[in-house]
Structure 1
Amino acid sequence: MDDHLRTAFRRRGFLPAEDPDSRLTLGERFEIIDQIGNDLPSLLLEPEFRSYMRAQVLPEWPHPNIPPKLLSQAHLYYLRLGFIASGYINQIGQPVTHSLPANIARPLCQIAELLERPPMLSYDGYALYNWKRFDPDRGIELGNIDTVQNFVHLYDEHWFILIHVEIEALAARMMDAMMTLDDSAGVDDHDAVDNSLLQISAALDNVLQVLRRIPEKMSDELYFSRFRPYIGQFRDVTYESMGQVVNFRGETGAQSSMMPMLVEFMKIPHQPNRLISHLNDMRHYMPKAHVEWLDVVHAMPDVRPVATPETFNRVLEQMAEFREVHYHWAIKYIARRCNDQHGTGGTPYLKWLKYLIDETRQHQVQG
């Protein structure tokens, strides 16, 4: 992994190295994509939305590759198209459709291939690249950030996304701790290991504080009925003119790299089963650089034999608490409102979250 990327991870966590673009500047013909993106919450309220979209001419990415100076533009272009595609397939109040028109499918597949990712709105497009700061001199934190793109005219959706953005920003401190330990070859140094774990623990304290804030500005009824449907799976969807029928998992926080990174660092031995296969499949939806970092962390030596048990166990307990809060919100926002106990990624989330909680605590040092 190159030094530039490591530096970016230490500064920004899994968020992009520079603040995302909020407007396409690729030329006048690309203005229609920004316009549709900005109007999408209103357009999705109209029964004629799909007919309207079929009539639009959406320009394809203008380069055979992604020039480095246009990387942020490429992510915004993918983000807008991903939202449009998910809005088209999952439009609330309209008949189910299994066909994505060529004028959306073709440019989406093209940019997705260049970004080395599936042509579907995933966590990176929904959250990691979907924010802007009000004051660039202040932190990436609630109160100073807003979304670039939404499905609905509800601040509840903004809040849902922005909670994830601040959590991802906080992950930078964990990554810095891991890199400091790795760079110093200090995995055999008791004090160095404990210092790393203490830094990770402090960051997790802040992450838990942010995660617990979800109900402040997000209604469970509005989440379930008004915008959760838009981040659902693509089941047997034909991408017109692309010669393919696709099945993609919906956007889900399981596509975040933060918890997988902690699992790799703490060497938690989750038992092989359908859950772990599912979590491994989530890596196909993560940015390539994030998966490379997970591989780096996986290769790091085990700190468990060197760490102070209380310090090591504290991090594990915070990870279990994170999953317990997630479990609680899953009940509040989803389970109480439907019989289908599957998340947007298509998993039996309550059962599997319980497995993860139990196995995390079982890894604690005893005695």
Structure 2
Amino acid sequence: MDTKGKYTETPMSLEQFHISEDYGFILPEPLNDLPLYYKPWMDIARNMPDLISSHSLRLRIHNMPLLETHLLGTHCELRLAHLALSMMTMGYVWQEGERETVKVLPRSLSVPLCEVSQRLGLPPILIHADTVLANWRRRDPDGPFSMENLELLLTLPGGESVRGFFLVTVLVELAGVPGLKSIIDVINGIHYNDVAMVTKALDVVSQAIDSMKQAFKLMHEYVDPSIFYGIIRIYLSGWKDNPSMPDGLVYEGVQEQPMEFSGGSAAQSSILHCFDELLGVQHEGSSGAFLRRMRDYMPPSHKHFIENISSHPSLRSFVLQQADEGLTRAFDLCVARLVDFRNFHINTVTRFITIPASRAKQLRANKQGMTEDLDAIRRAPTALEERGTGGSGIITFLKTVRDETKEISISQCTNGNQVLPDRSMTEIQKAASELTTE
């Protein structure tokens, strides 16, 4: 404080944590290509679906030269290299599905992947920071940030559905950016004991969470559940808590003992962790342990931002101490919107995993001829039925996280009010209950 009792220290900012004011956690304008020296990597990475469908990816990787990584000089180059190498890794491991997995990742892939990962502070496996945050470009650089104007840099089997899955998630991340910026205003408002500033910032946070849900709804328009369940999901699956690879994976030339890493997961998105920390949501038990572990799958500066939020004075305590009706209402609306978002997530997972899992059991039992989409469901991996790609028991996990979010509502504690579930969710659950598994 200065001599007049006012705070003079520099306020917290996104820039301190390498987070974009415009894009949030998304990497602004990722590179389309690496230096010419790395052409062997990019030639393979750009043709993943064809190489996998022709069962020739593993051979191409075995014949790939071992390239040095010190020529990767910028952060953007390292991020594109991590995306390309980790996508190749998933394709190599899962080329033949769950029944012909491998035990060793060849040196030409494992060594550069681990070197790049170490420089970035990321694990050597495909993660949310790769497939979503650093895997997009605008067709028209001056055009809008929309599904029509976005495309992937690199892709996996699954056609338009895999494009939709990753790019809709980009839009969900982008929709949350105003709320991310307002977290700074909340923290600084508490710092200055400014109730109006905190209330206004919380209004923006709640609007951002609702905008994220609206963007998330596009998943139902752009992604075919049977394609996601039967084709896409295995290429996002890791070798931790996965019965198909109980011993993990040896990274040749890096470590003789096998290593285990979780696959890509929405739990690796930093933005919901930020809202949880801001509002004071306490995730306990196995769900809390899983979420904390997923922070190790985020860029380190993003993880540090989340931790920094929790190091500041409690927002919930501030709201309770002020006993201001408008502030309390703004806080509870943020909680309600976050619960609503998580209800919709349960809805979506039910449609994209639970229902297809039941259908897959029926189809395998019937062994009848079927359309290509239904055949994809029948041939889907059995080891991960009703589990997330990160290895969690997905529905139980999501319901626990949702219920823990409900618990912090101030009005629920004081008045016994309940946050209503998403109406459409009950329709999906009804459909799931009607499926037989005999």
Greater alpha carbon shift after TM alignment, 232-241 vs 116-125: 232-241
- In the TM superposition, what is the alpha-carbon distance from 1:131 to its structure 2 partner? 0.4
Q: Is 1:229 equivalent to 2:234 in the alignment?
A: yes
The answer for the alignment partner of 1:89 in structure 2 is 93
Verify the 8 A CA contact 1:100 1:239 in the aligned structure 2: yes
Q: Which amino acid in 1 is paired with 2:30?
A: P
Q: Which of 109, 119, 125 is 1:120 aligned to?
A: 125
2:275 equivalent among 248, 254, 262: 262
What letter matches 1:51 in structure 2? L
1:318 matched residue in structure 2: 337
Deviations 1:258-309, CA, capped at 9 Å, x for gaps: 1110000001133x20110011000110000101100111122222324622
Q: Distance in 2 between matches of 1:105 and 1:84?
A: 10
User: What code does the residue aligned with 1:75 have?
Assistant: R
Aligned residue number for residue 73 of structure 1: 77
1:325-336 equivalence runs, <5 A:
325-336=344-355
1:156: which partner in 2? Answer: 161
Structure 1 SS opposite 2:259: strand
The reply on whether 1:108 has 2:108 as its aligned counterpart is no
Residue 9 of structure 1: aligned partner? 20
Q: Secondary structure at the match of 2:350?
A: helix
Match of 2:46, SS? helix
Of 43, 49, 62, the match for 1:54 = 62
Question: What do you get for the CA RMSD once the two structures are aligned?
Answer: 1.9
Distance 1:245 1:131, change over 3 A: same
Q: 1:337 aligns with which of 351, 356, 367?
A: 356
Give, as a single letter, the amino acid of the residue that structure 1 aligns with 2:24.
Answer: G
- Letter of the aligned partner of 1:361 in structure 2? K
Higher relative contact order (CA 8 A, sep 6+): 1
Cα shift at 1:5 = 4.0
1:362 counterpart letter in structure 2: E
Structure 1 Cα separation of the partners of residues 268 and 19 of structure 2: 20
User: Contact (CA 8 Å) 1:320, 1:357: kept in 2 or not?
Assistant: yes
Structure 2 residue 221 is the aligned partner of structure 1 residue 211: no
> How many Å apart are 1:223 and its aligned residue?
0.6
- What CA distance in whole angstroms lies between the structure 2 residues aligned with 1:125 and 1:214? 19
Report the equivalent of 1:352.
397
Q: Distance in 2 between matches of 1:187 and 1:276?
A: 31
CA distance 1:187–1:152, change in 2 (3 Å):
farther
Q: Which of 271, 281, 291 lines up with 2:303 in the alignment? A: 291
In structure 1, how many angstroms separate the alpha carbons of the residues matched to 2:80 and 2:201?
35
Cα distance in structure 1, aligned partners of 2:81 and 2:299: 15
Identify unmatched segments of 5+ residues in structure 1.
Answer: none
- Checking the alignment, whether the CA contact within 8 Å between 2:78 and 2:116 is kept in structure 1 is yes
Partner residue in 1 for 2:260: 247
Distance 2:348 2:14 in 1: 38
**Aligned residue type for 1:22:** N
Preserved CA contact (<8 Å) 2:237 2:389: yes
Mark the CA change 1:346 to 1:186 in structure 2 (over 3 Å): closer, same or farther.
same
Say if 1:9 and 1:176, in contact at 8 Å, map to a contact too.
Answer: no
- Out of 30, 33, 39, the residue aligned to residue 31 of structure 1 is 39
Equivalent residues of 1:42, 1:153 under 8 A apart: no
CA gap of 1:139–1:172, structure 2 versus 1, over 3 A, is: farther
> After superposition, what is the alpha-carbon deviation per residue over 1:35-68, rounded to whole angstroms, capped at 9, x for unaligned?
11111110011223212320111423134xx64x
Deviation at residue 135 of structure 1 after TM alignment? 2.6
Say which of 287, 294, 298 aligns to 1:282: 294
Match of 2:140 among 135, 155, 162: 135
Matched position secondary structure for 2:22: helix
Using a 3 Å threshold, how does the CA distance of structure 1 residues 187 and 301 change in structure 2: closer, same or farther? farther
Gaps of 5+ in 2: 1-11, 240-244, 359-384, 416-438
Q: Please state whether the residue corresponding to 1:180 is helix, strand or coil.
A: helix
Amino acid at match of 2:140: D
Query: Contact 2:48–2:57 (CA<8 Å) still a contact in 1?
Result: no
Cα distance in structure 2, aligned partners of 1:7 and 1:35: 30
Give the Å deviation of 1:186: 4.9
Tell me which amino acid in the other structure corresponds to 1:294.
I
- Indicate conservation of the 8 Å contact 1:181/1:187, yes or no: no
Amino acid of the structure 2 residue aligned with 1:72:
C
Shift of residue 175, structure 1, vs aligned partner? 1.8
User: What's 2:365 paired with?
Assistant: none
Q: Is the 8 A contact 1:44 1:91 kept in 2?
A: yes
TM-score normalized with structure 1 length: 0.92
Residue aligning to 1:364: 409
Q: Secondary structure at the match of 2:176?
A: helix
C-alpha distance 184-329 of structure 1, shift in aligned 2 (>3 A): closer
Matched residue of 1:188: which SS?
coil
Q: Aligned partners of 1:363 and 1:8: how far apart in 2?
A: 27
C-alpha distance in structure 2 between counterparts of 1:153 and 1:337, whole Å? 16
Normalising by structure 2, report the TM-score.
0.78
Q: How far apart, in 1, do the equivalents of 2:116 and 2:335 lie?
A: 39
Q: Distance in 2 between matches of 1:153 and 1:355?
A: 30
d(CA) in 2 for partners of 1:160, 1:359: 27
CA contact (8 A) 1:233 1:250 kept: yes
User: Percent of counterpart pairs with the same letter?
Assistant: 23
User: What residue identity is the alignment partner of 1:11?
Assistant: D
How far the C-alpha of 1:120 sits from its partner, in A, is: 0.9
Counterparts of 2:15 and 2:343, CA distance in 1 = 35
**SS state at 1:326 partner:** helix
Tell me the SS of whatever aligns to 1:342.
Answer: coil
